[in-house]
Amino acid sequence: MASAQAVKLALAALAGCYGESKAELTPGRISAWTAALDDLPDADLAAATRALIRTSKWMPTPADILAAARPRISAEEAWAETLAAIHRHGRMGRRDVSWSSPLIASVVETIGWATLCDMEANSVSYYGAMFRRAFDTLDKRQHLRTAGAISFSCAACGRVGCSCGSEKQRIGVDDNGQADD
């Protein structure tokens, strides 16, 4: 969801703050960052960029942007947030809930808002364990998907991490370390 224009603006702001020249904002770099941040809304990208400019001593990477945009919470914190939302909004207020993480919304949707609202006092620990297990599974899956979003392979043989020396051409970098466009 991060548009190339939003990525370009974020990179320009970061470059200005961290002493990089605008010449380093090549189309190849913008394209790579756009691919890495493709599931991040523009507004979240802008907010994460502002937060990192205020807190980071070094030029952030796309992984830093994603981490700042989606702070990881524990399954226990997610369950506590869910219980608080149930008490605050009740069975009919599902649409009024604004979750701090889309993972919470996914788990609540999977188990069912009505099911969670209707649980008896003696089954809270059962549903809590189910929720935490589902949350941890989704969190790990999302983390692995994000971490493996970009892979680099050799242009000559197609293998990742080969030693024939052709990887540079495949990822769009010439022999001088400059981006090919």
Q: Residue 75 is encoded by which pair of tokens?
A: 């399954």
pLDDT band at 11 (very low <50, low <70, confident <90, very high): very high
Pairwise CA distance, residues 79 & 30, whole Å: 38
Number of H helices, E strands in the chain: 9, 0
- The tokens describing 115, both together, are 């099911």
Cα dist from 139 to 68, 72, 86, 98, 106, whole Å: 16, 8, 22, 18, 10
20 close to 14: Cβ distance less than 8 angstroms: yes
Question: What pLDDT shows up at residue 163?
Answer: 52
Q: Does the predicted model carry a pTM greater than 0.85?
A: no
127 has a pLDDT exceeding 80 = yes
Residue tagged 């197609």 (tokens): 158
Say if residue 83 is exposed, middle or buried (CB neighbours under 10 Å; 0-12, 13-18, 19+): middle
CA 11 → CA 5, 19, 42, 123, distances in Å?
10, 12, 13, 49
Residue 102 — pLDDT band, cuts 50, 70, 90? confident
Q: Name the pLDDT band for 155 (thresholds 50, 70, 90).
A: low
